[in-house]
């Protein structure tokens, strides 16, 4: 069994869309850290709650491995890695605990602007580029559509221009990136926002109390903001 720990460790994005809002939210919960914005690790001062600053993609795995107890991550990323684990026959390792009200976006299918969209059957036999292969393949199966999933780690929106795929499945917020690439969004696979993620199974040492306190403070905050 894992050694008991008396400090809580929260993984947040080091830089990117979720980095500043995650920090502000945790600060609003009364947490503070020694100044070390460029470091990987921030030692908690007001409470025994430390931060690990990482790439968002690493957050679900850090929770699964027990390196971190909590993480602030997009539901898109959490859901993708949860589905990928399930497709590999692995047990669930994490779950979303709270929606955090920032980082809103949708995972969508987008097609060339000049397509006359008639419905999902138009995807039959097509190549779809995405960074979310597990969510996409589960969705295609649900829709009864047979299409080829082309996994790309970035710049998915240029795949149709490059001829790597006809269609894409990517995150959309304003739609400006799609429009700039002569694509239009047609189907929603997932409504996403940043979530506080925790382990699938409850902790059983001092961290459990810290986690409960943090969740109470978070819930108190959302009441004030509403
Ligand atoms: P990292 O270097 O940490 O891997 P990244 O480039 O993968 O960073 P960001 O672009 O900062 O990540 O996005 C982080 C999260 O922000 C996404 O996973 C998603 O939940 C959310 N998000 C909100 N709007 C958008 C958008 N328009 N495009 C991409 N992500 C968005
Ligand atoms: Zn990332």
Query: How confident is the model over 144-190, as pLDDT tens digits?
Result: 999 999 999 999 999 999 999 999 999 999 999 999 999 999 999 99
Q: How far is the CA of 217 from the centre of ligand 2 (A)?
A: 28
The answer to whether residues 90 and 198 belong to one domain is yes
Q: How far is the CA of 65 from the centre of ligand 1 (A)?
A: 23
The answer to whether residues 144 and 204 belong to one domain is no
pLDDT above 80 for 128: yes
pLDDT band, very low/low/confident/very high, at 95 (cuts 50, 70, 90): very high
Q: Which of 221, 175, 161, 224 is nearest to 196 (CA)?
A: 221
Identify the weakest region by mean pLDDT among 46-50, 125-129, 185-189, 203-207.
Answer: 203-207
Q: State the residue range of the domain holding 182.
A: 105-192
Q: What is the pLDDT of residue 5?
A: 86
Q: Give the rounded percent of residues in the chain with a pLDDT score beyond 70.
A: 96
Q: How far is the CA of 1 from the centre of ligand 2 (A)?
A: 31
The answer to whether residues 109 and 166 belong to one domain is yes
Residue 150 belongs to domain with CATH number: 3.40.190.10
CA angle 139, 143, 148 (to 5 degrees): 65
Q: How far apart are CA 26 and CA 218, in angstroms?
A: 8
The answer to whether residues 173 and 219 belong to one domain is no
The answer to whether residues 87 and 171 belong to one domain is no
pLDDT band, very low/low/confident/very high, at 39 (cuts 50, 70, 90): confident
Tokens 């995150």 belong to 171
- Residue 55 is assigned to a structural domain of this protein: yes
Ligand nearest to the CA of 18: 1
Answer whether 13 contacts ligand 1 (Cβ < 6 A).
yes
pLDDT mean across residues, the chain: 95
Which strands form 8-13's sheet, in the order they lie side by side? Answer: 41-42, 49-54, 8-13, 70-74, 194-199, 94-99
Pocket test for ligand 1, best of 17, 179, 193 (most atoms within 8 A of CB): 17
The answer to whether residues 39 and 58 belong to one domain is yes
- Residue 3 is assigned to a structural domain of this protein: no
* ipTM value for the complex: 0.97
């Amino acid at each position: 069994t894992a050694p008991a720990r008396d400090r809580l460790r929260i993984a947040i994005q080091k830089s990117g869309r979720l980095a500043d809002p995650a920090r502000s939210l945790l600060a609003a919960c009364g947490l503070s850290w020694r100044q070390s914005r460029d470091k990987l690790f921030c030692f908690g001062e007001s409470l025994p709650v430390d931060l690990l600053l990482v790439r968002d993609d690493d957050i679900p795995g850090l929770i699964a491995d027990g390196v971190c107890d909590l993480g602030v991550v997009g539901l898109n990323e959490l859901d993708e890695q949860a589905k990928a684990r399930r497709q590999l026959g692995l047990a669930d390792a994490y779950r979303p605990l709270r929606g955090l009200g920032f980082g809103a976006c949708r995972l969508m299918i987008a097609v060339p602007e000049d397509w006359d969209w008639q419905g999902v059957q138009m995807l039959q036999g097509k190549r779809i580029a995405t960074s979310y292969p597990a969510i996409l393949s589960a969705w295609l199966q649900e829709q009864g559509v047979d299409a080829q999933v082309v996994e790309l780690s970035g710049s998915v929106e240029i795949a149709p221009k490059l001829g790597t795929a006809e269609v894409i499945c990517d995150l959309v917020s304003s739609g400006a990136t799609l429009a700039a690439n002569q694509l239009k969004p047609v189907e929603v696979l997932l409504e996403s926002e940043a979530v506080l993620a925790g382990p699938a199974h409850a902790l059983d040492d001092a961290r459990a109390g810290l986690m409960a306190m943090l969740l109470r403070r978070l819930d108190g905050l959302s009441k004030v903001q509403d």
